């Protein structure tokens, strides 16, 4: 970076990239030792899909209802949540969207109903974000891991949203005590610089032939330096401590909201909290009221029925407290509680 050369294209590696991969390795299970950079979460999904197809020779994927993996065509294909692009199909690669397993039985039923076509891979957000913070059933995830392992089907966890401490652990797979074959990262990965990354095994990514995948700006030197600096902040600063305090503050402040009628649920994990309403209309009213009261919120949920709170991990606790006060005030103003 001292040379002032900020771009070198995909054919060369700089020290800042090598350094970043090396530090990231310390956070990852030993078997996930291979990296392939990209410019975004969507492109990382494309890379993950291609790596599965090259590895298995198969062409069909399994995705889940509510799953969101990006807006490029391959990513759309494997996303249950296609939004306004749903009518652009047929999509490629072929993908069967099955019910997001919030109970154990539901995954067994889905697996039993699959046809004979060989699978290239299965892609899941174990904690769905855009669908409004929905949690996979832990036993179902284990069943899915067992099924994919015994059939040599790569299992992809898309951690574009959940990675890097958003859910109170470095990676969301750590909540389940199992390791996927492929991880997809983006967003927080590079602390605001555009970048994505696929992490996988020697067996899957190590065997790629040259030229199979490249992208001019894939995790360039500046993004790598930003990522590296973010990792050292996660390691050495009070960032993790602050994120834990954020979680406790949300819990304390939001858990006493009265869940009744139009406010269907309040749920959260780490620094990611959601208020689920009966409809998008109610949600819009509360979000508008919160905005008028000084707080920007995020719309999520399969029907736009969820208000999401996703603060930066370094947001001061006093701001989180203030945000929760605004939420409570706005909810009671709109719902007349
Ligand atoms: C889980 C998940 N995967 C993939 C993406 C796509 O990432 P990007 O917007 O960087 O292409 C997103 C973006 O919201 C996401 O939440």
Of 80, 184, 187, 299, best ligand 1 pocket probe by most atoms within 8 Å of the beta carbon? 187
Computed over every residue of the chain, the mean pLDDT equals 95
What is 214-255 written as a DSSP string?
Answer: --TTTT-HHHHHHHHHHHHHHHHSSHHHHHHHHHHHHHHHHT
Q: How far is the CA of 80 from the centre of ligand 1 (A)?
A: 13
pLDDT of 227: 97
Residue 190 in contact with ligand 1 by CB distance below 6 A? no
Of 331 and 260, the structure prediction assigns the larger pLDDT to 331
pLDDT reading at 256 higher than 90 = no
- Cα–Cα distance between 248 and 263 in angstroms, integer? 21
What is the whole-number distance in angstroms between the Cα of residue 271 and the centre of ligand 1?
A: 17
pLDDT number for residue 2: 78
Statement: residue 108 has pLDDT above 90: no
Q: Which two tokens stand for residue 77?
A: 């294909």
Is 322's pLDDT higher than 90? yes
pLDDT for the residue numbered 258: 83
- pLDDT (average), residues 167-181: 97
Ligand 1 atom with the smallest distance to the CA of 40 is: 10
> Poorest-confidence range of 30-39, 99-108, 181-190, 193-202?
99-108
Given a cut of 80, is residue 1 above it in pLDDT?
A: no
Q: What is the pLDDT of residue 307?
A: 98
CA torsion 90-93-98-102 (nearest 10°) is -130
pLDDT at 337 over 80: no
Residue 50 three-state SS: helix
Phi, psi of 236 (to 5 degrees): -110, -25
- Tell me, using a 6 A CB cutoff, whether residue 166 lines ligand 1: no
pLDDT at site 255: 86
Assess whether the C-beta atom of 70 lies below 6 angstroms from ligand 1: yes
pLDDT for 182: 98
- Ligand 1 centroid to Cα of residue 44, in Å, is 9
Average pLDDT value for residue range 63-78:
98
């Amino acid at each position: 970076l001292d040379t002032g050369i900020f771009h070198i294209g995909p054919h060369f590696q700089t020290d800042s990239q090598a350094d970043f991969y090396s530090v990231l390795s310390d956070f990852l299970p030993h078997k996930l030792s291979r990296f392939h950079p990209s410019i975004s979460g969507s492109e990382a999904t494309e890379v993950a899909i291609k790596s599965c197809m090259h590895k298995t020779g198969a062409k069909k994927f399994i995705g889940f209802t509510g799953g969101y993996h990006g807006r490029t065509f391959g990513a759309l294909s494997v996303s249950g949540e296609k939004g306004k692009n749903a009518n652009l199909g047929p999509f490629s690669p072929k993908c069967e969207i099955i019910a997001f397993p919030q109970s154990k039985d539901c995954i067994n039923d889905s697996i039993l109903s699959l046809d004979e076509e060989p699978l290239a891979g299965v892609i899941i957000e174990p904690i769905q974000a855009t669908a409004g913070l929905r949690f996979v059933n832990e036993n179902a995830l284990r069943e899915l891991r067992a099924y994919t392992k015994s059939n040599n089907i790569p299992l992809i966890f898309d951690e574009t949203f959940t990675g890097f401490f958003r859910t109170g652990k470095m990676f969301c797979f750590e909540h389940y005590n199992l390791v996927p074959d492929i991880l997809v990262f983006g967003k927080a990965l590079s602390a605001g610089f555009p970048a994505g990354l696929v992490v996988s095994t020697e067996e899957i990514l190590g065997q790629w032939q040259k030229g199979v995948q490249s992208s001019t700006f894939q995790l360039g030197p500046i993004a790598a330096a930003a990522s590296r600096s973010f990792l050292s902040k996660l390691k050495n600063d009070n960032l993790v401590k602050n994120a834990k305090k954020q979680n406790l503050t949300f819990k304390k402040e939001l858990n006493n909201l009265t869940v009744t009628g139009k406010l269907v649920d309040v749920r959260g994990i780490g620094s990611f909290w959601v208020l689920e309403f009966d409809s998008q209309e109610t949600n819009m009213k509360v979000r508008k009221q919160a905005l008028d009261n000084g707080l920007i919120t995020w719309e999520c949920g399969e029907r736009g029925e969820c208000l999401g709170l996703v603060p930066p991990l370094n947001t001061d606790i006093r701001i989180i407290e203030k945000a929760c006060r605004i939420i409570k005030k706005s909810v009671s103003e709109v719902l007349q509680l």
